[in-house]
Structure 1
Amino acid sequence: MAPAARLERIDTLRGIAVFGILLVNVWAMVHGASSYRYGVQAAAAPLFDQLVILLTAAFAEAKFYPIFSFLFGAGFALQTRSLWRALGDWAGAKALYRRRLGWLLGCGLAHGFLVWFGDILAAYAVTGFLVLGLAGSRLRTVRTCLRWLLVGNLGLLFIVLLPTLGLDGADLRAEINLALADMATYTTGGWPEAFALRARDYAVSLFGMLFIVPELALLFLLGVMAVRLGYLTRPARHRAFWRKVQRIGLGVGLPVNLLWGFVALGDARAPQAAGAAGWAMAVALPWFGPLLAAGYVATVMLARRAGLARWLAPVGRMALSNYLMQSVLGVALLQGVGLGLGARLPYAGLFMYCLCVMALQAGWSHWWLARHAQGPVEALWRRHTMAGIGRRP
């Protein structure tokens, strides 16, 4: 398999992840940061509206940010090695990559406070700073860090899980009312109200980094390992490995995540009836979701036809530009500071909105990359990273 074809699969995965993230983020753009991601659905909601919640929760929620994180780690491995080859030493490569992460952190913070409280870029940057010392490390060192992160994430899961076991659905009225109020502010409020709520929600999100960064670091290092061992860069040599991942990821992940889809639908239709089992499953979703995500990745790695790659790879090459574009469109079209469509669109309408954005971004990505080497934001990112460097990798 030629190098360009190998990297095209990685870009295809990025494109899938960007579109999958949109399917999940659109709900928070409308409903805010409440734990009721899918809002409160009427008892007589149309069947298609119910299916949208079920399928989004089962097949998209907590499946695509793990893929994005995994690929961020893969990109880290590829880019730092490229910088090392160009500069001749790991210290220079790390310094240049640190500059790259600094730009990403600034972009993420601005994005989070000014546009979309659900920003993930700042968390990726922090994770990158934490694992940067592993650039060029021996595989044994990376494996050791992975083992410790696995143990730490399991411990963190139980710490977060235990308080949910005593929750009673009857005590959730205040949270439900707050969720409805937040939705009204985002979809009908003006700039001052929306900005204040966004700043509050993003501040809470930044605090939540304490819990998400360990998981991101685990996924990040799995991506590093996948590149170092050739699983991503030479998939044809590792088809047996990817078949095993596919069997486990789809065989175990599909039924468990389908169950989560029914739980999420039940919570949206009768939020006050939410029980401890549902809350416990929601807390454990960061483990169930990536399992199915691994099945998705394996399926792409095993695919022999290039049709999907030709359509999605340009979207993945412009992943950062497309991710930020989704946020800007969400504010302009769904929230009250723009057209406020989020207050009027039914659940099925939000799904159709996502499909329209995907079609727009696929066409735009193909058009842009036919004329430019990179996406617009990617070009700015590279320009900042390489500023003052005479020799570019």
Structure 2
Amino acid sequence: MPGSARVTDTSASPVPTAQRVLAPDLARGVMLLIIALAHTYIFTKIIGGEGVVLSAADRVATAGTIMFVEFRGYPMFAALFGYGLAQIHRRRTEQGHEWPWIRALLRRRARWLIAFGLVHVALLFFGDILTVYGLVALVFVGVLRFRDRTLALLAMAFLPVGAIILAVFAAEEAMTGESQYPPMPEGFLDELLFRLFVFPITGLVMVVSTIAPFLIGILAARHRLLEEPHRHVRLLRATAFVGIPLGLAGGLPLALAKAKVWADYSPLDAMIAAGLHQVSGYACGLGYAALIALVAARLTERQGPVTNALAALGQRSMTFYLTQSVVWAALFASYALHLKVTSPAIAAGVAVAVWLATVVLADLMRRRGAHGPAEVALRRLTYGPSR
């Protein structure tokens, strides 16, 4: 292989904990709470539909989920995925590897992500992100060599695509009165077929919604926004203190509609509200990431037990993302406990409780020096056995 004589390291060893950057790990740890809140809210819809009478607490929980969680955390996680991919590219380039070797490595990693994700879909949850990220990485790995300006223009081009798709879905829902979340059937085989049927639809929306923040994450990694936040304080503050309020304001119309406060909700209103919700979600998600980077910059030299636990969860985010799905299956599947939770307020409480349990488990793993099994499996399948 050309240039192989310059290679200094081909091992699959992870970056030592002491050398890891706090901000991405902290962001992933917090992000898992947002994912948990989003997923339990979805289960209330596929279990009870949109027609369930909401209490005051449920209205508040619904509005809060729409404004702070739904399509808010997802762009942040997608940006972190792009950031991580760019870090791998930079690290392997610095070790002396040529582009064809790095491209093959990243594509192999992407294919294994797709494999993990498809098993996840079939057995546990139809809203899988691993398959989506694998597909995006497989198709867009070449953008790692694009110029900054090209990446920015490409991100802007993809920005409205997801909003248009969601606007069409929302208009159809308003016209027909049918929920965008189909009711979940009962029985192991029926639920498996349900997940396999629904995932291509949800996956399409997620893929087109991932590309723009994924590209922005690559741009951020090039300029080391999370590794060196002290050099980018002005940009991070602007992103956080403009993006988050913009995202919350953009999510308000849809939140009022879903909480059944906005009564006369026409199909045109639905299209506008859904499109605005999606586009403003990008600003909010990136704002979340910027805010966590600013917080991490202040905590780097004085990390306490809470920070360490959250970072430990972020370092094992894939493992505990899948763990959450195991818990949802155990709680909600018809062949398990089959809890019929239709209250968004109760669902939010369940999400927080499960997330807190994973924080504790991740911290126990950190204390014992144990890596996440999903991360270890992906690394070994990607690189082969570590030297």
Q: State the TM-score, normalizing by the size of structure 2.
A: 0.85
Deviations 1:338-375 (A, max 9, x none): 1011x146332211111110111001101112223521
Aligned-pair RMSD on alpha carbons? 2.8
| Equivalent in the alignment of 2:230 | 236
Give the alignment of 1:69-88 within 5 angstroms: 69-88=78-97
Contact 1:29 1:335 in 2 (8 A): no
Q: 1:115 to 1:80 in 2, by over 3 A?
A: same
Question: Any idea what SS the aligned residue of 1:292 has?
Answer: helix
Question: Any idea what SS the aligned residue of 1:119 has?
Answer: coil
For structure 1, which segment, 54-63 or 80-89, has the greater mean C-alpha deviation from structure 2 after superposition?
A: 80-89
Deviations 1:102-121 (A, max 9, x none): 11010011111221111111
Give the alignment of 1:340-359 within 5 angstroms: 340-341=338-339, 343-344=340-341, 346-359=343-356
Deviations 1:228-284 (A, max 9, x none): 1121210011111111112311342232223332222128x97x9554212331134
Q: 1:101 to 1:277 in 2, by over 3 A?
A: same
| Equivalent in the alignment of 1:363 | 360
| Equivalent in the alignment of 1:114 | 123
Match status 1:66 vs 2:75? yes
| Aligned equivalents of 1:244, 1:203: Cα separation in 2 | 36
| Equivalent in the alignment of 1:293 | 285
Once the 2 structures are TM-superposed, how far is the Cα of residue 52 of structure 1 from its aligned partner? 0.9
| Equivalent in the alignment of 1:8 | 22
Amino acid at match of 1:340: H
Q: 1:354 to 1:156 in 2, by over 3 A?
A: closer
**Which of 13, 20, 31 is the aligned partner of 2:45?**
31
Question: Any idea what SS the aligned residue of 1:230 has?
Answer: coil
Q: 1:112 to 1:102 in 2, by over 3 A?
A: same
Give the alignment of 1:265-344 within 5 angstroms: 265-266=259-260, 275-303=267-295, 304-305=298-299, 306-307=303-304, 309-341=307-339, 343-344=340-341
Give the alignment of 1:90-239 within 5 angstroms: 90-135=99-144, 137=145, 141-154=147-160, 157-158=163-164, 161=167, 169=174, 171-173=175-177, 175-176=178-179, 182-183=183-184, 185=185, 189-206=186-203, 208=204, 211-239=205-233
Contact 1:29 1:331 in 2 (8 A): no
| Aligned equivalents of 1:154, 1:203: Cα separation in 2 | 20
Q: Would you say how many aligned residue pairs link Structure 1 and Structure 2? A: 365
| Aligned equivalents of 1:62, 1:84: Cα separation in 2 | 34
Contact 1:30 1:335 in 2 (8 A): no
Once the 2 structures are TM-superposed, how far is the Cα of residue 330 of structure 1 from its aligned partner? 0.2
Question: Any idea what SS the aligned residue of 1:117 has?
Answer: coil
Contact 2:32 2:355 in 1 (8 A): no
For structure 1, which segment, 370-379 or 211-220, has the greater mean C-alpha deviation from structure 2 after superposition?
A: 211-220
Contact 1:6 1:233 in 2 (8 A): no
| Equivalent in the alignment of 2:5 | none
Contact 1:12 1:316 in 2 (8 A): yes
Match status 1:19 vs 2:24? no
Once the 2 structures are TM-superposed, how far is the Cα of residue 67 of structure 1 from its aligned partner? 0.7
Q: State the TM-score, normalizing by the size of structure 1.
A: 0.84
| Aligned equivalents of 1:58, 1:20: Cα separation in 2 | 12
Amino acid at match of 1:198: R
Once the 2 structures are TM-superposed, how far is the Cα of residue 30 of structure 1 from its aligned partner? 4.3
Once the 2 structures are TM-superposed, how far is the Cα of residue 162 of structure 1 from its aligned partner? 6.4
Q: 1:39 to 1:234 in 2, by over 3 A?
A: same
Deviations 1:33-54 (A, max 9, x none): x9x9x73231xx3221221111
Contact 1:54 1:265 in 2 (8 A): yes
Once the 2 structures are TM-superposed, how far is the Cα of residue 151 of structure 1 from its aligned partner? 2.2
Once the 2 structures are TM-superposed, how far is the Cα of residue 197 of structure 1 from its aligned partner? 1.6
| Aligned equivalents of 1:133, 1:168: Cα separation in 2 | 38
| Aligned equivalents of 1:373, 1:85: Cα separation in 2 | 28
Q: 1:354 to 1:93 in 2, by over 3 A?
A: same
Question: Any idea what SS the aligned residue of 1:41 has?
Answer: coil
Contact 1:84 1:92 in 2 (8 A): no
| Equivalent in the alignment of 2:8 | none
| Aligned equivalents of 2:55, 2:80: Cα separation in 1 | 37
Q: 1:46 to 1:30 in 2, by over 3 A?
A: closer
| Aligned equivalents of 1:90, 1:14: Cα separation in 2 | 28
Deviations 1:40-84 (A, max 9, x none): 231xx3221221111111111111111110000110011122223
Q: 1:212 to 1:150 in 2, by over 3 A?
A: farther
Over the matched positions of the two proteins, sequence identity in percent amounts to 25
**Which of 89, 95, 106 is the aligned partner of 2:98?**
89
| Aligned equivalents of 1:300, 1:240: Cα separation in 2 | 14
Amino acid at match of 1:77: A
